[in-house]
Amino acid sequence: MHYPIINEVIFSIGPLSVRWYGMAYLVAFLLAWWLGNWRAEHKAADWSRQEVSDLIFYGALGAVLGGRLGYVLVYNFSRFLEDPIWLFKVWDGGMSFHGGLTGVLLVLWWFARHTRRHFLEVGDFVAPLIPLGLGFGRLGNFANTELPGRITDSFFGVYYPCSAPAIQAIDPLCTGTWEAFMRHPSPLYQAFTEGLLLFLLVWFYASRPRPLGAVSGMFLTGYGCFRFVTEFFRQPDEQLGFIAFHWMSMGQLLSLPMVAIGLYLLLRKPSRSKVQPAATEARR
């Protein structure tokens, strides 16, 4: 089958254009806010709706700023050196999950200090809220014809349009309407695994009392493993290529520390005082 040609602009009102990728971010944050309020009401009685709103707001800032900085400094540093102003040209695209995660972690650290909570307690509350947003972000990539997959002749392969900037970057000889070969639609693979499957895994794991940090560990381990596997179907970034062993991508390399930290949080033996109940008394 052929890759569907989707106009990246949903609708325009005068000079204002609403794009699929921006809509994906909006849906992600709204979902996190709604799920957070549900958890505050049913699973974490010591969280108020105002605290949930504050955490989502500042977390969104951390995700966007960290995601942009991570993409520019890790994935496209050479372009940043040539044009430092490009860092602020967010309309040109370019976001990194690992950079966004770093930004969110900094927000969680600040929020934990501000509310006198343990850092891992805040992380355990937030972890189940994240995956669906990641899935919608990947759907935004798909709508924008971004993150093309590797060449395949499998049933799941699709023909990418030569006009897509991502294809022009990796296949400059593509001058017709479609590439002559099929590629994996890797954004859909990652939307399914990093989004839906990871959400189900972490959400149901968090539905019962767990040791402090275990829910965060499940998220880190699950995401790292899903990302590592799905990167085998995704074309490496053209400006980086494979960065280790002639097969490992930057996304895979950055996922390894996530798996290591996640497994540590899951397997460590916590003290009795570090077991988190499904619902606690309101914080006084």
Helix (H) or strand (E) holding 256: helix 250-267
What CA–CA distance (Å, rounded) separates 234 from 142? 12
What CA–CA distance (Å, rounded) separates 5 from 217? 38
Between 82 and 155, where is the model more confident?
A: 155
Q: What pLDDT was estimated at residue 89?
A: 66
As a whole number of Å, the CA-based R_g of the chain is: 20
Residue 168 CA to chain centroid, in angstroms? 25
Q: What pLDDT was estimated at residue 261?
A: 96
Q: What pLDDT was estimated at residue 9?
A: 84
| Weakest mean pLDDT among 3-12, 90-99, 178-187 | 90-99
Please report, for residues 95, 174, 194, 200, the alpha-carbon distance to residue 216 in angstroms, rounded to integers and kept in the order given. 22, 44, 15, 14
Asked whether residue 275 carries a pLDDT value surpassing 60, the answer given is: no
Between 110 and 269, where is the model more confident?
A: 110
What's the whole-number average pLDDT of the chain?
87
Q: Which of 21-30, 79-88, 219-228, 274-283 has the highest mean pLDDT?
A: 219-228
Between 44 and 86, where is the model more confident?
A: 44
Residue pair 111/136 in contact (Cβ under 8 Å)? The answer is no
pLDDT tier, 243 (very low <50, low <70, confident <90, very high otherwise) = confident
Give the model confidence (pLDDT) of 153-190 as tens digits. Answer: 999 999 999 999 889 988 988 988 999 999 999 999 99
Task: Tell me phi and psi for residue 19, to 5 degrees.
Answer: -110, 160
How many residues in total does the chain contain?
A: 284
Q: What pLDDT was estimated at residue 39?
A: 93
Q: Name residue 151's beta-bridge partners.
A: 183
Residue pair 120/211 in contact (Cβ under 8 Å)? The answer is no
* pTM, rounded to two decimals: 0.85
β-pairing, 178-183 vs 151-152, is: antiparallel
Three-state SS string over 145-156 comes to: CCCCECEECCCC
Asked whether residue 274 carries a pLDDT value surpassing 60, the answer given is: no
% pLDDT > 90, the chain = 54
Distance from the first to the final alpha carbon of the chain: 59
Q: What pLDDT was estimated at residue 280?
A: 45
For the chain, strand residue ranges (E) read 9-13, 16-19, 151-152, 158-161, 178-183, 210-211, 275-276
Q: What pLDDT was estimated at residue 281?
A: 41
Between 204 and 81, where is the model more confident?
A: 204
Amino acid identity of residue 41, one-letter, is E
3-state class (DSSP) for residue 183: strand
| Weakest mean pLDDT among 3-17, 93-107, 262-276 | 262-276
Residue pair 101/262 in contact (Cβ under 8 Å)? The answer is no
What CA–CA distance (Å, rounded) separates 62 from 200? 24
Give the model confidence (pLDDT) of 16-70 as tens digits. Answer: 778 887 888 899 999 999 999 999 998 887 899 999 999 999 999 998 888 888 8
Q: What pLDDT was estimated at residue 279?
A: 44
